[in-house]
Homo-oligomer: A and B are copies of this chain.
Amino acid sequence: MAFEKVKRSEDYSQWYNNIVNNADLAEHSAVRGCMVIKPYGYAIWEKMQQELDRKFKETGHSNAYFPLFVPKSLFEAEETNAEGFAKECAVVTHYRLINDPKNKGKLIIDPDARLEEELIVRPTSEAIIWSTYKNWIQSYRDLPILINQWANVVRWEMRTRLFLRTTEFLWQEGHTAHSTEQEAIEETLQMLDVYANFAQNFMAIPVIKGVKTANERFAGAIDTYCIEGMMQDGKALQMGTSHFLGQNFAKAFDVKFANKLGNQELVWATSWGVSTRLMGALIMAHSDDDGLVLPPKLAPIHVVIIPIYRNEEEFNKVTEIALKVKLELEGKSLSVKFDNRDTHKPGFKFAEWELKGVPVRIAIGPRDVENGSVEVVRRDNKEKQIMNMADLANKINHLLEAIQDNIYLKANTFLDNNIRPADTWEEFIELLDAKGGFVSAHWDGTSETEELIKEQTKATIRCVPLQNKLEEGSCIFSGKPSVQRVLFARSY
């Protein structure tokens, strides 16, 4: 195992791919644009799922499951949504294969098994879900409906990158139905907060909460709220979205309820989702030139113990203590790996577990055994310390908390340092090219200007931050009057 190391500063994109590959997180599959999520990568995703699921249930949501396929006629019903996703839809047209009469052992589509109506593999589930909600909702007593689903979705992508943009990806999608506009908007914002808190407290990634412009809105939404993170190369990454859908889907599927007065009203909707894209954010936000750096709260393995020995006698002595330490740490709910492979030297193991981002490494040698101490190295800043064995589990727990905090603080400082104002077009271009990051600038509020800026700079408006300060100014591009600054960035 000789890993090709590439520095972030040399080739950020290759650095990212190497970490995904070398840390055994995911790989490209035999299916164009689809990935295999490997066990170590999936274990991190499971940790994310667990915590998000807990938060969804805490806020009153239940899980359910809706079909993978959407009949074309339902898919078409909400026209803006359909148009937005039409160009990236995988379509099932047949339901049977038969033996190829010309080619023994090969199969061909059975021409007699053509579907009367094509089925779309869900790119998102509003259509199938709202066609179902129609039957569930008669009266205000049936509302709200607060449902989430964990599922796979497919959006045909021409240029894919592991985790960041794949044809099939895993996600959760919340779909809620409400009797009032206000309640739906509150739900939209509540879930945005759930996402922001998760990003900050678990992924250790500070995010900016904001609302998308019309150009960047989810197809079919009235408003799309988002959390935006900043990666180490100065590019923004949209990490989650929460949509206020107004009555668009209720209109498309004729979903009405009788209010308390007995009058029929259209139902209000939200939807919100995060995906395996978060894995990409996690990798890019914290990792360094030696590999993955994981916040302890999402690390499948918190501590790796590596024995140092020259002969079997020493190995046995060290193993005894290592197993004791392992047991003690596991007693405090820590996940511990004792790497006793005799096929690899300690130095190799150190590098491998650094690559995999295990937050704490403990090395135990014969001298440590004599001294009643162990050598502890934290992954985030590589600091080494000798720890007395007494009360070790508590000390390690404190250390893990310190690591979680430090990773967050580092990312937060980075974010703070990468939001810069620009007041002229030249300054704007120069900041984007020389520094990257978010550029806070005035914009005249029109889609045309936004488009032109994107064409000329590849930067998009990431969001209008929530509680944005109103401030009179002139649009960076058109010079027309503007009432507030918005955040531009190049992005993933």
| A:205-227 near B, CB below 8 Å | none
CB–CB B170/A65 < 8 A:
yes
CB–CB B29/A128 < 8 A:
yes
**In the complex, what residues of B have CB within 8 A of residue A107's CB?**
72, 75-76, 82, 86
Other-chain contact of A79, B30, B105, B170 (Cβ < 8 Å):
B105
Other-chain contact of A46, B30, B63, B97, B109 (Cβ < 8 Å):
B63
- Once bound together, how far apart are the Cα atoms of A118 and B107, in whole Å? 11
Task: Tell me if A168 counts as interface (CB < 8 A to partner B).
Answer: yes
- Asked whether A62 and B89 contact (CB < 8 A) given A34-B68, A36-B67, A119-B31, the answer is no
Task: Tell me if A54 counts as interface (CB < 8 A to partner B).
Answer: no
- Once bound together, how far apart are the Cα atoms of A68 and B29, in whole Å? 11
Task: Tell me if A388 counts as interface (CB < 8 A to partner B).
Answer: no
Of A12-20, A37-45, A305-313, A440-448, which binds chain B? A37-45
CB–CB B96/A156 < 8 A:
yes
CB–CB B97/A147 < 8 A:
no
Task: Tell me if A358 counts as interface (CB < 8 A to partner B).
Answer: no
Task: Tell me if A95 counts as interface (CB < 8 A to partner B).
Answer: yes
- Once bound together, how far apart are the Cα atoms of A165 and B81, in whole Å? 32
Other-chain contact of A92, B70, B74, B92 (Cβ < 8 Å):
B92
Task: Tell me if A152 counts as interface (CB < 8 A to partner B).
Answer: yes
- Once bound together, how far apart are the Cα atoms of A76 and B109, in whole Å? 12
Task: Tell me if A98 counts as interface (CB < 8 A to partner B).
Answer: yes
CB–CB A29/B132 < 8 A:
yes
| A:309-353 near B, CB below 8 Å | 343
CB–CB A43/B31 < 8 A:
no
- Asked whether A63 and B91 contact (CB < 8 A) given A96-B86, A107-B86, the answer is no
**In the complex, what residues of B have CB within 8 A of residue A71's CB?**
30-31
Other-chain contact of A168, B64, B67, B141 (Cβ < 8 Å):
B67
Q: Please, which residue of chain B has its CB at the minimum distance from the CB of A118? A: B109
CB–CB A94/B95 < 8 A:
no
Top-8 shortest CB links A-B: A39-B62, A34-B67, A37-B65, A86-B97, A95-B156, A91-B94, A31-B67, A93-B93
Enumerate chain A interface residues (CB-CB to B < 8 A). 27, 29-31, 34-39, 42-43, 46, 62-72, 74-76, 79, 82-83, 86-99, 105-107, 109, 118-121, 128, 131-132, 141, 147, 151-152, 154, 156, 168, 170, 343
Interface pairs (8), CB distance under 8 Å: A31-B70, A31-B128, A38-B64, A42-B65, A86-B98, A87-B96, A91-B94, A152-B152
